[in-house]
Amino acid sequence: MMFGNSHLLQGPLPLTNLGLPKTLTHIDGAMTWGYNKKTYFFSGSSYWAYDASTRRVELDYARDISWWEGVPRNIDAVFQYTDKKTYFFKGSRFWEFDDARKQVVNKTGQSIQDHWFLCPPNHLEISISPADHLKLKVRVSHLVISMFYIYFLILN
């Protein structure tokens, strides 16, 4: 979606408009990497680099996610936090990515609840089915889009 001032300019655009393949059905995560300021899209075991100047994915992509050493396949989300570190999320775990060394800090990941929500050590683990996981992922995506929309409404 594209916003101008406080209103929607265009609805959801096809991923192919960005140069992504027609066979790609979804994006697991997207972020602008602090190391080189490029935008990356992740889906399954692949990732793409987006060139903002041409508004297209760079020509020599898709590449295997294994380049991001230690990052699991099929992530749920990725972002660069205010500490200028990149974080990949999957299930109840996250992986902190060292941009300079180009590898994760802890290969097994860390508990989201312990680190991000400061839950006590004896917290209750919640497991969800793959179908419910997808529903949750879609709801979180809609929440993020809604937050961006509200953000633009407030600023303009």
Give the three-state DSSP class for 48: strand
Task: Give the per-residue pLDDT at 18.
Answer: 86
What domains can be seen in the chain, in order of their start residue?
2-155 (2.110.10.10)
Average pLDDT over residues 66-83: 90
Residue 154 host element (H or E):
helix 130-155
The larger pLDDT score, comparing residue 105 to residue 156, is at: 105
Averaged pLDDT, 76-94: 88
> Alpha-carbon dihedral of residues 57, 60, 63, 68, nearest 10 degrees?
-80
Please name the helix (run of DSSP H) or strand (run of DSSP E) that holds residue 2, with its range, or none.
strand 2-4
Digit-coded pLDDT (tens) for 12-56: 778 888 889 999 988 999 988 878 888 999 999 999 999 888 888
How much is the average pLDDT of 85-102?
89
pLDDT (0 to 100) of residue 156 = 46
Q: Could you give the 3-state DSSP secondary structure of residue 145?
A: helix
Instruction: Give me the phi and psi of 36, to 5 degrees please.
Output: -135, 5
